[in-house]
Structure 1
Amino acid sequence: MSAVKMSILAGGIGLATVLLLGPLVIPLLYRLKFGQEIRDDGPRAHLKKRGTATMGGIMILAGTALASFLVNGASPENLFLFAVMLGCGLLGFADDYLKIVFRRPLGLRARAKMLGLLIVGAFLAWSAYILQRGTLIAIPFTELKIQVGLFYYLFVVLVLIATANAVNLTDGLDGLAGGLTAIVGIAYVFISLLTGHEAAAVFAAAVSGSCLGFLKFNHYPARVFMGDTGSLALGGALAGIAVLTVSELTLVILGGVFVLEVISVVIQVISFQMSGKRVFRMSPLHHHFELSGWPEVRVVYFFWLIGCCLAVLGILSLRGMG
């Protein structure tokens, strides 16, 4: 079977798996009272979402696992990619569990979460070494690849931490993070196929298909949220694919919306600490648009559109990669 057909098959299996799991898992989450806590300092319109089932990211993990292992088998690349995704997902699960069961609004302490991401990042760096990925960093839109030696492994850890946190910050509106990750994942199917990384193409397709299936239940008005279980897992998955395909800097383009969300938070914090003034009505950026009068669905669709444009730009930046 060709790599293209394998990727399509993996995407289809991931999609079907999540669609089948939804009617089973979502009622269970409600029965277990795994409902979302809404912070009082967020947009007032979000208070009506309090109690919506969360931790739905377990369905995305299940869909990705089934699809990727059925199609890819237990190949080293697939094992490492899913292990990174699962590691981040388990960290997110712990965070969600503390928020819901122990009523700790902030979940895991920042130090504990950072330590967990450092461990997963170190595992990803070790995986890159075991898979003999090398220590080159490709520069988008050029044929230039820079040899950075041992610094590369620190770079991998930073990529993992940054990507996981970026997707996590973006998961604030119904369907936003899932839709954007599906878009980036589809772009990575093309990138992986064009650069000869068939295992990564299948895995990216499995992630995208699972995210698309999740949108059935997560689009506005959401019946379930992915929680940190899903957002951290998806960030880990994207970071793993980027490392395997030598496209870490391309991920900055593909995930440009995630990057903008992080930048908006940084700008807001710096501005408020230095001048006492806020640049945005609220950060991350999607809340600024909400409080400017945009309906939630309009914000999501607008960000998806930007994500699609950036995905095309990222694919066009492939010159010299492979």
Structure 2
Amino acid sequence: MVNLIYATTLAFIICLMTGPIMISWFKKLEFGQQIRNLGPQSHLEKAGIPTMGGVIIILSVVISTLVFAEINMKVMLALFVTVAYGFLGLLDDSIKIIANRSLGLRAWQKIVGQILVALLLAVVVLGKLNLGTEVLIPFLGSTIDLGILYIPFILIVVIGTSNAVNLTDGLDGLAAGVTIIVTITYAYMTFQFGAYELAIFTTAIAGACLGFSWFNTHPAQVFMGDTGSLALGGALAAIAVLTRTQFFLLIIGGVYVIEALSVMIQVSFYKLTGRRVFKMSPIHHHFELKGWEESKIVVRFWILTTLLSLIGLLGLV
């Protein structure tokens, strides 16, 4: 139990110590955020704020996990997915900065990379860990065997989660704060399941996001960028896969789901009717354009995540 606290604390301290150094370095290299003109006008003032801050999160998580966790196959897989997705995000962020445009990797390039990493995770889970193709069902205390659908299901979970967290990262402190709550919840769950080393990895993420929030709360000094959001999404998905709690993640990470669904609904409805359901998607921008203060939206999404996490824990019957 004590190592869970140590891992959280070390990740937090690493973020606090490296944050100012990395932010200063990003500023010197002019690694500033590119803001789309289509977004809320209030976001234009965020142009030039250092991005790629996810490097700080990944560094903190990796070091803290390696120091306090006994490395087994599950932890190695979780770290691999985190770093691999973070690398994809780093490429994306780098292209945005070098090309001086708001879009980085082509959609097909990003999805191919995500598929390859998710596929490797699924293959190792089945071939090396022998976890089987069963998934836990919340509130029923039973499992469902997905059989041949298991690998496609894993691809959807991992890719969907990483992109959903990426969409959530649109306001100062939003993605980091939501992820703190989700990972604390998952730390309890993994500990209850006996996956102690994986719980250490999970608490390291919570500590890293907590430390990153010191610099990311409104007005943000740094953004995590795709480097951080894709890495965090990949990490959460890996934890869910390794504990067979993919359906729990739908509940606990409900804010990510809502953000992703708002984009899907907006795009689909616009293509069908030429009209919009929301003023703008993802949905946090809808509330911004309705006049809500950025901090109010962020805190309310944190509250919603807390409620959803409690509901998810109730599903552990």
Normalising to structure 2: TM-score of the pair? 0.98
Q: CA deviation at 1:156?
A: 1.0
Residues 179-202 of structure 1: per-residue CA shift (max 9 Å, x gap): 111110000011111111112211
Per the alignment, residue 41 of structure 2 pairs with 44
Pairwise mapping of residues 257-268 of structure 1 onto structure 2 (< 5 A)? 257-268=255-266
- Identical counterparts, % of pairs: 45
Superposition RMSD in Å: 0.9
- Which residue identity does 1:278 align to in structure 2? R
Instruction: Give the CA deviation at 1:137.
Output: 1.0
Query: 1:123, 1:213 → 2: CA distance?
Result: 31
The CA distance in 2 between the partners of 1:77 and 1:12, in whole Å, is 22
Match of 2:104 among 91, 104, 107: 107
Rounded to whole Å, the distance in 1 between the matches of 2:19 and 2:183 is 21
How far apart are 1:267 and its partner, in Å? 1.1
Is the CA contact (8 Å cut-off) linking 1:60 and 1:210 kept in structure 2?
Answer: yes
Task: Measure the CA separation in 2 of the matches of 1:75 and 1:139.
Answer: 26
Report the count of equivalent residues.
316
Which of 160, 163, 169 aligns to 1:162? It is 160
Tell me how far 1:143 sits from its aligned partner: 1.5
1:222 pairs with one of 212, 215, 220: 220
- Equivalent of 2:64, from 64, 67, 72? 67
Question: Which residue is 1:23 aligned to?
Answer: 20
- Deviation, 1:271, is 1.5
> 1:41-91: CA deviations, max 9, x gaps?
000000000000000000000000011111113322211110000010000
- Please say if residues 134 and 244 of structure 2, whose CA atoms lie closer than 8 Å, have aligned partners that are also in contact: yes
Specify every segment of 5 or more residues in structure 2 that has no aligned partner in the other structure, as ranges: none
Contact between 2:81 and 2:235, CA under 8 Å: does it hold in 1?
A: yes
8 A Cα contact 1:84 1:123, kept in partner? no
CA distance, structure 1, for counterparts of residue 3 and residue 311 of structure 2: 25
Q: Does 1:209 align with 2:207?
A: yes
Contact 1:268 1:279 in 2 (8 A): yes
Offset at 1:104?
A: 3.7
- Rounded Cα–Cα distance in structure 2 between residues aligned with 1:102 and 1:82: 30
Distance of 1:147 and 1:29 partners within structure 2: 47
Whether the 8 Å CA contact 1:69–1:78 is kept in 2: the answer is no
Q: 2:168 corresponds to which letter in structure 1? A: T
Question: TM-score scaled by structure 1?
Answer: 0.96
Instruction: Work out whether residues 125 and 131 of structure 2, in 8 Å CA contact, stay in contact via their aligned partners in 1.
Output: yes
Correspondence list, 1:230-309, <5 A: 230-309=228-307
Q: Find the residue that maps to 1:224 and give its secondary structure.
A: coil
C-alpha distance after superposition, 1:262-315 (max 9, x if no partner): 111111112111111111111000001111110000000000000111111111
Contact 1:29–1:53, Cα closer than 8 Å, also in 2:
yes
- SS of corresponding position for 2:147: coil
CA contact 2:32–2:97 (8 Å) conserved in 1: yes
Measure the CA separation in 1 of the matches of 2:177 and 2:38.
25
SS in 1 for 2:220: coil
* Matching residue of 1:121: 118
Deviation for aligned residue 1:210 = 0.2
CA distance in 2, matches of 1:106, 1:262: 18
User: Equivalent of 1:173, from 171, 174, 177?
Assistant: 171
Contact 2:70 2:197 in 1 (8 A): no
